[in-house]
Amino acid sequence: MFGLSYLDISGSLGLCATGLLCFNFLLGILLSTGFKGQSFWKKLPEKIRKLPIERIHNWTAYLAMLFAFLHPCLLFMDKESGFEWKHFIEPLSAPKQPKMVLLGVISFFALIVVIISSQKIIKKRLGFRTWKNIHLISYVTALLFLVHGLLMDPLLKDRPTDFIDAEKFFSEICILLLFIAGYYRFRYFQKKQIKLSKTRPS
């Protein structure tokens, strides 16, 4: 199709999943900080403030899961890659970079767990605290998928990672954004805990 191989399309889908997961993670951080009451949010244009952030957060997760699933499926169609369906279950037996394949498989199944547990009916049955603990998996999920994308050779030739390659640079930017967002989320948690401690009766 347009001169693209299954390997090329698989790589493109992987990049799409990477971008979507990063964006989804950032939206999740935003939703967890009571953003509508924050001063920075009130200063944004009205069109942005009216965006259905929670709905966008949900749909980017679904799309990321779809692209993450299609990403290896294209490899299975490429006979030269040597990848087969069994490597979904036995990633360490993969013909190329099995450890990186393992990271990708773990992140994919972790993403499924997070999405399933976030469905309204299941979330209600789990209770907020249990759901929250499960949802924390998303932090690790995003990081594992990004590391998988960063260190996996897109041509499957076991070449060393070219960290200044455009595709790899994209993954590096996403990883940096995750760490920055994670840091500010932790700072928000700390400030919230301090406020709570001051309001508790001694």
Q: Give residue 109's pLDDT band: very low, low, confident or very high (50, 70, 90).
A: very high
Confidence (pLDDT) at 201: 63
pTM above 0.85, yes or no: yes
Least confident of 36-40, 71-75, 105-109, 166-170: 36-40
In this prediction, residues 167-196 reach a mean pLDDT of: 89
Q: What residue has token string 């603990």?
A: 133
Confidence (pLDDT) at 35: 82
Please say if the pLDDT value at position 200 is more than 70.
no
The mean of the pLDDT values for the chain is 88
